Amino acid sequence: MSAKISLLSKVMLLITAALLIGSLFVPMWQIELNAPQYPEGLVLKLHANKIGGDVDIINGLNHYIGMATLHTENFIEFKILPYIVGGLGLISFLLIFIAKRKAVLLFLISYILFVALAGVDFYRWNYEYGHNLDPNAAIRVPGMAYQPPLLGYKQLLNFGAYSIPDTGGWMLTGAGLLLLIIVVKEYELLKKKK
């Protein structure tokens, strides 16, 4: 079995690089809020470098329950994430020329670690905003926290909160799946032992 990767794997690495770089130009994650008084819904769009969507309205509502307001400049993640994701895209492109399956395996492991750390950081971010409330807020419910879900649905008072990947998040997922397919293919992990 050759340590060099096939032409098909190189094409998949090129697509992976395009997905990673492309994810920088679209929202990566969204938190959608639905309530009777907002039938059209409110949405928070998390890009690699900023918070978008209905930020001002959500900040106004959060004020009543004592949550801190959301501002892009308050998060170091928005300063470094574009460089990390861009760097991952560049590495994927360089792996086409390195063309070694061990290098692709190491990249896949690094990518999985990046995704896990990003998930932990996002959970921490949600936890701090949902639990560190102003005790002098206009609306206080004893024992109530307003942490949105990491992924999925959660009821927060009269708001239903949906936390799901946006276009960029699905692109990052696709990149990870392609890397996994390359490793499985190149190491022939699905072939039966003779």
Look at residues 25, 126, 31 and name the one whose alpha carbon lies nearest to residue 82. Answer: 25
Looking at residue 1, its pLDDT comes to 53
Q: In the structure, what pLDDT confidence band is assigned to residue 124 with cuts at 50, 70 and 90?
A: very high
- 135-189 confidence digits (pLDDT tens): 887 887 777 788 889 999 999 888 899 999 999 999 999 999 999 999 999 998 8
For every residue of 79-135, DSSP letters joined together read HHHHHHHHHHHHHHHHHHHH-BHHHHHHHHHHHHHHHHHHHHHHHHHHHHHHH---T
CB 178: neighbour CB atoms within 10 A? 21
pLDDT band at 3 (very low <50, low <70, confident <90, very high): confident
For the stretch 85-99, pLDDT in tens is: 999 999 999 999 999
How much is the pLDDT for 39? 86
How many whole angstroms separate alpha carbon 150 and alpha carbon 83? 23
Whether residue 108 contacts residue 180, with contact meaning beta carbons closer than 8 Å, is answered with yes
- How far, in Å, CA of 10 to CA of 95, rounded? 8
Confidence of residue 25 (pLDDT cuts 50, 70, 90): very high
Q: Position 194: which residue type?
A: K
For 39-85, how does the pLDDT look when each residue is reduced to its tens digit (9 = 90+)? Answer: 899 999 999 999 999 999 999 888 888 888 899 999 999 999 999 99
User: Would you say 6 and 185 are in contact if contact means Cβ atoms under 8 Å apart?
Assistant: yes
Please report the pLDDT score of residue 2 as a whole number. 64
**φ, ψ dihedrals at 165, nearest 5°:** -65, 145
Q: Which helix (H) or strand (E) segment is 43 a member of?
A: strand 38-46
Domain boundaries, the chain: 7-184
* Angle value at C-alpha 23, between 17 and 26, nearest 5 degrees: 155
